[in-house]
Structure 1
Amino acid sequence: MRLFHALTSLGCCSALALLNAACGISILGYGAGNDGGGGGGGDHGTGTRSGPGTGGSAGAGAVEISDCEAGYNEISDGRGGVNVEQVCPLLVDRSVSLLAFTSAIYPLLRANCSSCHSTETRATAPLIADVDAKLAHEYALTRVNFKQPADSKLVVRMGVDRHACFGSDCMDANQQMLEAVQAWAAAVAPGLPETPRPVPMDEEISETDVTGWIEADRAGIPAADAEFIKYASLHELHNAGVSADELNVARVALSKALNSTARWAPEVANPADINGKGIVYRFDTRDYWGYNKGVTKLHFGGSDDDVFFGYTTVNYLGEPVGSDVTTKEKYSYTAEVERDPSFARLVWGRVLAGNVEGASTGEPLPPFVDGFKTDYIEASQLVFTLTRPDVYSAIMAIPWYAQDLEAELGVIKDEGMKSYEYMVTKEAHPIDSRMYWRARTTSGGYYWKTWDVWTGQLADGVTTIEEAYATGQIRFPFWAHPIPKFVSGTGGGVLAETFSFIATLAQPFNSTPPGCDPQPSYAGAQFSNCRYYTGTEGMQQSEEEVIWDLPNGLQGYALWGGFGQRRIDSMVNAVRDPRLHRGLTDAKLASEIGHTIPDRRQNVGSSCIGCHADGVSRGDNDLRDWLDRGGPLPAGERGVDRWIDDEQTVAQVRELYPPSSVMRPKMEDDRRGFLAAMAKIKRDMILGEDKNVYVEPAIWTIEWAQGFYRYPVTTSN
């Protein structure tokens, strides 16, 4: 089945299994995708090293805790380079683990996963099914939770992500994988160190305890700093009986959410445990938002739908919001970042307001801020609020149009369309294929941008994307038109020469471009969807996702719509998040086109942060690789037939689309910076020897908050 992957969460066998996954995808996308690619590689079977110059795997029979100085794990890709993984070498007896792995789970992996995840085939990371059992074991160690096997990435990739399932369906594959991991864990888990818990589980922490601890700590805060000092408490999680390891997850989530929304902060700053109990943490808002590039007012953070169709009429300050807000609100960024405590004050005021600018189909949403107290914020509430799509877009000062963000980030465009490195992945995160590119920025960083195309309506009797390809109804335009055509979009007279927005499938208003073959629009009679590529200006049936590296090493995220305008959520006819659609069949979730499932959307903020647990996700450049190898490029009128025999076009494709062997090491380098920043968080925030988390922390904590406060899951909440 199609490679479909979830948000960093979920499963189906335990509460925490419902909150795992850490979706990898074809580079971008918020919630599902292909944990594909690989990067670099070392000598076959040489095991792991924990960052440059740090140790390796334990010798036979030795129980070792790796120093993991770099905070992430580099494993040979079997082809002369390395793949970068966030889980450091585990605290296990390697010889015992390898023996149990080989007997309990390796045969299952070889039988069902080796067509991709082995150096003898595509060498798609992780190489969990490699022909070399020792190398496969090293990769599998990065995707197993020996204490809670149901939470293992190996398991949730089946039950939640629904990735390349075997057996009768994904639930069957999930159960087979769970039983295999449980057998492996039975041999290893007894030797694992216990995670400390400074406050015993059966000791309840009262509100009076929390406020008393805060009062004692606040007494030592200088008066000039007092307004910027805030407190977050994990006592509700503790009192609810979550495990010591789950408390570690929430601690990491707290710091990750703060630092992931620190738009211009130069380095990671972790909250401080105020009394050694691991419950109440102090943070200074200036550490995250005390840096600014000239922003004096935060723009409306809601959806463009709310603006253009009038669902929301006021912003978080109660000021009117009209359809002209996208042209009236334009950030004038300064050239350099400056220290600015007033920006921290501005951001915190927006955080306190909650997600009142969230997407709705009627009245504005309630703020959902039950966990904000007079003296502190309940920790899961803070993680939840910082990652709401409207809050995130506002406090990250995301402009209304993509080219404005690209200008602020210094995306390098001095070679025009040749400035970017293009990729096309057939089975990626979206319902259909994905085109995306990597650009460089003047800071030396990276900027990834995707193009996901609405599948739209097909002929009668064709209901899945597989049927569409089989019958020649290929909708993805970049198989037949691999040379991108840059068009204007909108946003203040922007020109095609800004190299920001490209033509996909048009969605015409009043006029129909030649070759469109119009279909009724989902939005009603006002628009029509083009079934086929026209290369024209105007509204496009696409949405774009962007990832860039923040100064502190983590990542920023943005979503853009059919005019290049900022959005806060992704339409379900382009991309879907299995986390939000757990009750659907495998085929309906991953293959059926259009709005065939409930309209619960992936959103900027939580979906992006949760999905990209490892930073940039991997993907293969199928268009280029298949061109070089001679197959299996989509053929026919809407496939590559129109250009495959044209030497000039083929040469241009090879110039614009580097092979996977070129792009994989760049992805690994991009991952490395992110994982180094995450390592700084985990070193300080995790209690105990094992500095790993085995679920994506932000999504685990967000979903805990939604359950605890009974906040509904809405269209894009």
Structure 2
Amino acid sequence: MIFTVYRTWIRGLCWVGMSACWATVASADLDSIALTEVKGILRSRCLECHRAEASSTDFDVLDVESLIKSKTVAPGDADGSALMRVITTDDPEVRMPQDLPALPAEEIEKIRRWIAGGAKAFPEDVQRPEVQQQEDAFAGLVGVEYVLKQILAHQRKQKPDHQRYIRYFSCNHLLTRGATRDELNLQRDALAKTINHLTYERDPVELEIIDGETATVFAVDIRKLGWHADVLKASDSFLATKSSLDKYDLILLEYPYGIGYEDSETYDRLEREFLKPSEMVRQIPYLRSDWFCSTALQPVLYHDIMGLPHTVSELERDIIGVDADEELHHERIHRGAVILSGVSRNNRAAERYSAPHGAYWKSIDYSSNVGSENIFRDPVDLHGVGGEMIFNLPNGLQGYYLADAAGNRLDAGPTAIVTDKFAEDKVVRNALSCVRCHDKGIKPFKDVVRPAIESLPGHLGFNKKQVLALYPEQDELSALLKKDTDRFLGALEKVLGRPQSIEPLVPVTRRYLEDPLLLGTVAGELGLEDSEDMAAVFRSRQFTSLGLLPLASKGAIRRDTWEDYFDQVVHQLGLGKPVVPLDAISRRNYAPLGVGPDITLTTTRGTRLFGAGDKIAILVKNNGKLPIFIELIGTSTRGENIVLVPAGTKLSPGQEHRFPEEGTLTVKAATGQEFITVFSSDQSFVAGTRYHGKHTADRYVHDLSTINTAPIVKKTLVIETR
């Protein structure tokens, strides 16, 4: 660790060698949802080439009658259908979609079942609402003006003291490309489920649909979620443009799709009446619901919104309110174990503790099933390599936490031990993987330890009586599991307004995070209905340098690539003024297209992996021909920021700045990642503000209104300690 000790030193201590409300929208039946799923697969994977308007095809892939007439699909005969042959063949010259990844096995199976079941017609897409008297600022754009006008109308209905606490989400962008009612219902349910998993308030919070039957724009009062409370304070509130940040501010800082529409009268009114009075850290009128569900349930946002500390002991003491060691010592817990589970590759134990809001479950996971990791060798004294913590929230839903053997918080579990069947890369990420898996709450299981131990004689090498005290009879364990499941499902029914028929987060987040993005998809996300002209745009010089060329040749890009360059695409196309996520923790690097300084950020060791005792210095070099200005920030393993080199520091052409100017930093024996971030510009810029709080990573925030004339380049070096 480098920066934790450095902070102590600059405070004056001795130098020690620095260390490092539901609308009545009916629930879809499962058959309708299955048809919607198949339509969604064909839309995302095949529509780019096989649509009615395309000259390269003689059928429309979303029109079942067209598929049958062209003999692409033979109802009731999956194996005899041309569609099945081209999506399952190993011949790369024949397989569809061409030049793109093959369809996953589960998607192929859904298509097979649809054809075998008679290839029923797909549900119709929801019709896009019309906007009367469209403003010139939104010419050629679909949906954006509609959403903004819905928000403005809703704001004007609110009491003055309520307006500033209302926040908005939308899935209207899906209508540009096409979406069925079932798809929109899943978006709504996923959003409702997500926000209620991100609160410590007791009452379930309902979404308010503000655009009637279309049901694509939603409002929520963040006071009901507890998101209005300040969680980070400015280190120098006198100089800061905003003295504190609330939980919603943390979300805004990470949002990659923010756009301002300066030539729009609607946006101007919204800015005056809502955005500025609300004092949000970024003036963004609404968030995409699919982005929010997919991002807010993952680190860093999940940990910070929920205020989850860095260790299990702090979690139990400060958040859950359980003294686990004391409860275990007095055998006031219920334990069970399994040899095989749907998540862990090896034997796994689980302990249940009574908690203020219901139950607290803690798993003990192992990296193998042999030696000391064979749970039957000593089912009393367990020493796993990590675990998952699940605790009831006040509203009856569940919170999640992953930890290593030492009880340190993890962002993700190692795939050698646990896997997520819903994730493309199989990585278990807190808490998205957990919420998707625990769709009905705690998973029921049958303990294998007590039945095995009961029949054995004494003198087993461990205390049999203690084992039987810790591991209850299966009837007792099952009753507790049912109690916890009923609590969760009851809470979820209140959140959704009905029993959950299908888990919504799996399809919504997988579509957002994992579906390849084709030209038509990204055009739709930009609000552009016609994607044909976009191909030529992405062939232009300014876009090829972004790595977006595949979009011009019927290829695909990944979601992270699109997020990384979205603001620059918006700028180049003149669609509005992008709100750059410059200070997002999830965006470690940022370089405006074709502008900004050319810098190198490295260390004197020329590596990013260090061991205890290593001595290093940080180097920033100006490789350009003009002077530049820099600001250097360090971030510790616990997310604490410190200014290493203040804003305004000038580097001449070819000049290298060293930190510290004299001596070196000594790396301490602590594992984890630290970050060194340099902000640089051709012009002097206003320093950012550090915001600090408890159980929440620091934020270093710049006032974007002061830097628009001087684009800033952000570059981050990851320092990893062994």
TM-score, scaled to structure 1: 0.48
| Higher alpha-carbon Rg | 2
RCO comparison, higher one (Cα < 8 Å, 6+): 1
Name the one with the larger strand percent. Answer: 2
